[in-house]
Amino acid sequence: MTGRRRFEGQVVLVTGAASGIGEAMSIAFAREGASVVVIDRDAPGAARVAAGIVAGGGLASGASADVSSADDMRRVIDEAVSRHGRLDVLCNNAGIGVAATCHETSEAEWDLTMAIDLKGVFLGCKFAIPHMLRQGKGVICNTSSVAGQVGVANRAAYCAAKAGVLGLTKSIAIDYAAHQIRCNALLPGTVDSPWIGKILAQQSDPIAERGRMEARQPIGRMGRPEEVAAAALFLCADEGSFMTGTGLVIDGGLTAR
């Protein structure tokens, strides 16, 4: 790519960044010139991703945080702003999933899914927005899911949490549009990630289950983390400057049926 990189001089914070989509986002933003703050509860994983970016000539630092903790999220966001002087982009990407129907989901599983997948997004926005208001602009990208738009079998808590992320995204978009703060959501379909690997490992026939997961996308395969990261770049860059309150679907046609 010639000319100025899209995020040159900007500061981007990504949660859930030690693997999968979050790792791909961190690498993609760094390649486009951003200083990336890599956040994950897996401290060694966050450090590994940040070190890899730096080794490749990019700018990054890693930090550990539990996104469901207000103290943790306030700390890592304030530290990022203190170090860099600003926060241009927040990617609330951290998430977990429980494979269970409603009556099979325990209260503890429900509470944990909501705490990480929905409350974590709320806390990221809560503590980033005041900094963005002071600097006069900012962009937020929340990782929802097609499971927040349509029903997905055996994912009761996950569907509910991701629908909440989409609703919160739209609310933030309306409340802060006049302050030049944009907020959009990514709605990936099935993405080949470490979480999918864990689900497959729990199956009696992982190969057959992988085939079923691939087949539910009309395109005939799962998505790649890098494809979702590319969509995040678009939403957060100047090319997406007229987009706010949008849920961008990246699902290989899963919801087109």
Task: Report the chain's terminal Cα–Cα distance, integer Å.
Answer: 36
Q: Is 158 in the active site?
A: yes
Q: Which phi and psi (to 5°) does residue 248 adopt?
A: -90, 115
Identify how many contiguous H helices and E strands the chain contains and give both numbers. Answer: 9, 7
Inter-CA distances, 52 with 24, 63, 88, Å: 12, 14, 22
State the DSSP code for 119: I
Q: Classify the C-alpha dihedral 168-122-174-230 as positive or negative.
A: negative
Helix (H) or strand (E) holding 140: strand 138-143
Residue 6's φ and ψ, nearest 5 degrees, are -65, -30
Q: Indicate which residue of 7, 29, 127, 158 is catalytic.
A: 158
CA 32 to chain centroid: 18
Cα 159 to chain centroid, rounded: 15
User: Could you write out the DSSP letters of every residue in 175-241?
Assistant: HHGGGTEEEEEEEE-SB-SHHHHHHHHTSSSHHHHHHHHHHTSTTSS-B-HHHHHHHHHHHHSGGGT
Of 124, 128, 127, 106, nearest to 116 (Cα)? 124
Catalytic residues: 158
